């Protein structure tokens, strides 16, 4: 691990998250005594992270240098870019810079943790420049699947770095604000030291479709629906909500918002002027049954089939106020997030069982990506013409493919720096290389606990989920070493006790026979007794039924 230093070691770029996974985006820029941070995101748990609620970046490197942080700069308001702020800001104090909607979402999130009055939020309206120590940060607009997305031109004594954030080159965006190619071209003319670019869609050929196509798909589908329409989308996708509202209004349908985050985000977007909803169009849930089915359009969360989401409960016929009926239409207006395919497939099956017609991205253009495809990525490279290229925001395969794409545009192989979380990328006197490593990784959030669950606990949970647990309860006379109670065998997830009494009786006999052959000196040492019980039962279970449960001997003092 690198040691702290205050001497000028050039410009150092240190990714603490987002390189090797989708999510967890966090990048540190350091020059001399000054540090700025770009984004502070989380990721949702992978299947092996049993019981984990959220994953946030390890900020150990920043905690040791907290007095040098001049600001946290946010590209946009998606969870994978702002979601870790409530946890990080409990230990770090730094001003937050972002656009109005981004900070609107951040403030709502901080309220849940009673931090909203403690954090310095500074609204930036692109194009605008912020000076932060040795750095100057110019925000420029980019089109994405959320309103108010930005990229950043980060100036330093070593040169300018372009950090794109998440983007695509939508030439007909819903809000009329396309990606600011003029600013990218201007910096390209001036000279750019390095380009850090979104790798999410690098494998997709051509161009990403415009968001307006989704609105056109809604306009085609809505008039054909005889019953209620339920559109499931991410609550942060204000452009998508706007297009649902517009299509519903044209068809004479009232709009019901369902889901806490959907209601909150729509309110924030309306207050800031990013969402236009005509007066009288929104309806309350209590009015749902008063309107004819053909006059109802519902916008809800739960497009990924989350177990407790409103849409899942509707699909399972477990919602108190909303029941699907034949003739209703459900539109899943979001992508199938990798790893969620089976859950979403099950959701669709349940919706069909209720008699609904279902549209999703596999059968209709009810969703388009917010990330640039190959031709857009190449166009940005050619506009910026960076001396060095660093792919970001993607799994490792995405980073590799993006580096290959950069080489095809003429960027030399040795100037394509393929970094991972914790790598220190150093630029000095026009040269750049991966020079060092710092501590980086993932911190697990489980309930109210932050970081108290590590790899060993996850391994234990995985072990328990696969092989179950056996508890062996024994009472031993402390003076004589005599067993005066037990062994009592209690199992969970191992065998069904009511049907396995004969096997459990044999297990008890094995323990008794083993302890009968142990001398009194060993019986007086409870740790030795526990080790002996684990050893004999581990061998017995493996030999008889080839299972390896967690074995927990409990010794009672009598």
- Burial string for 402-419 (b: 16+ CB within 10 Å, else e) reads bbebbeeeebeeebbbeb
Q: How far apart are the first and last CA of the chain?
A: 51
The residue to which tokens 């656009």 are assigned: 99
Distance CA 416, CA 269 (A): 39
Angle at 38 between CA 33 and CA 42, to 5 degrees: 125
Beta strand pairing status for 483-492 and 329-332? unpaired
Q: Please answer whether residues 28 and 37 qualify as being in contact, where contact means their C-beta atoms are separated by less than 8 angstroms.
A: yes
Which residues share a beta bridge with 388? 194
Beta strand pairing status for 449-450 and 69-73? unpaired
Angle at 371 between CA 401 and CA 399, to 5 degrees: 20
Choice among 163, 371, 398, 402 that is catalytic: 371
Choice among 198, 328, 423, 446 that is catalytic: 198
Which residues share a beta bridge with 424? 436
198 is catalytic: yes
Distance CA 188, CA 118 (A): 39
The residue to which tokens 């991410």 are assigned: 234
Longest CA pairwise span in the chain (Å): 88
Q: Please answer whether residues 398 and 200 qualify as being in contact, where contact means their C-beta atoms are separated by less than 8 angstroms.
A: yes
498 is catalytic: no
Residue 539 makes CB contacts below 8 A (sequence gap 6+) with: none
Between helices 238-250 and 260-271, what is the axis angle to 10°? 90
- If DSSP codes are grouped into helix, strand and coil, which group holds residue 430? coil
CB atoms within 10 A of CB 539: 11
Q: Give catalytic residue positions.
A: 198, 371
């Amino acid at each position: 691990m690198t040691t702290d230093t205050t001497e000028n070691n050039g410009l150092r770029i240190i990714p603490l998250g987002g390189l090797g996974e989708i999510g967890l985006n966090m990048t540190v820029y350091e020059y001399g005594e000054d540090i700025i941070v770009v984004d502070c995101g989380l990721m949702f748990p992978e299947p092996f992270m049993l019981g984990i609620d959220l994953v946030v970046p390890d900020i150990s490197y920043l905690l040791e240098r907290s007095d040098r942080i001049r600001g946290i700069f946010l590209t946009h308001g998606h969870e994978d870019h702002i979601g870790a702020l409530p946890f990080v800001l409990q230990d770090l104090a730094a001003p937050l810079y972002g656009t109005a909607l981004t900070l609107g979402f951040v403030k709502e999130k901080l309220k849940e943790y009673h931090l909203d009055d403690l954090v310095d939020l500074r609204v930036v309206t692109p194009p605008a420049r912020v000076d932060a120590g040795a750095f100057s940060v110019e925000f420029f607009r980019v089109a994405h699947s959320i309103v108010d997305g930005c990229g950043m031109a980060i100036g330093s004594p070593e040169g300018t770095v372009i950090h794109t954030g998440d983007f695509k080159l939508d030439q007909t965006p819903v809000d009329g604000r396309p990606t600011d190619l003029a600013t990218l071209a201007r910096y390209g003319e001036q000279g750019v030291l390095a380009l850090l670019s979104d790798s999410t869609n690098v494998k997709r050929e051509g161009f990403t479709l415009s968001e307006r196509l989704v609105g056109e798909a809604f306009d085609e589908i809505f008039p054909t629906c005889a019953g209620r329409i339920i559109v499931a989308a991410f609550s942060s996708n204000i452009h998508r909500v706007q297009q649902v509202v517009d299509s519903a209004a044209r068809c004479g349908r009232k709009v019901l918002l369902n889901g806490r985050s959907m209601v909150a985000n729509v309110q924030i977007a309306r207050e800031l002027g990013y969402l236009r909803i005509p007066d009288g169009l929104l309806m309350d849930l209590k009015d749902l049954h008063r309107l004819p089915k053909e006059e109802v359009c519902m916008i809800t969360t739960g497009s990924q089939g989350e177990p407790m989401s409103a849409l899942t409960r509707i699909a399972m016929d477990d919602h108190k106020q909303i029941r699907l009926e034949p003739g209703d239409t459900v539109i899943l207006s979001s992508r199938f997030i990798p790893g969620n395919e089976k859950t979403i497939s099950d959701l669709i099956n349940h919706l069909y069982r209720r008699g609904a017609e279902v549209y999703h991205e596999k059968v209709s253009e009810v969703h388009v990506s917010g990330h640039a495809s190959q031709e857009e990525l190449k166009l940005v490279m050619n506009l910026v013409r960076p001396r060095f290229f660093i792919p970001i925001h993607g799994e490792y395969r995405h980073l590799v493919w993006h580096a290959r794409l950069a080489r095809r545009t003429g960027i030399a192989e040795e100037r394509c720096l393929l970094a991972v979380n914790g790598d220190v990328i150093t630029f000095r006197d026009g040269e750049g290389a991966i020079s060092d490593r710092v501590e980086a990784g993932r911190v697990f959030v489980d309930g109210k606990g932050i970081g108290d669950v590590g790899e060993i606990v996850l391994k234990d949970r995985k072990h328990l989920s696969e092989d179950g647990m056996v508890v062996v309860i024994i009472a031993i006379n402390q003076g004589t070493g005599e067993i005066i109670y037990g062994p009592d065998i209690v199992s969970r997830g191992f065998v069904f006790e009511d049907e396995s009494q004969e096997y459990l009786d044999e297990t008890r006999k094995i323990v008794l026979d083993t302890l009968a052959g142990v001398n009194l000196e060993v019986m007086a040492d409870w740790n030795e007794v526990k080790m002996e019980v684990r050893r004999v039962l581990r061998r017995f279970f493996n030999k008889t039924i080839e299972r390896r449960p967690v074995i927990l001997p409990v010794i009672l003092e009598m």
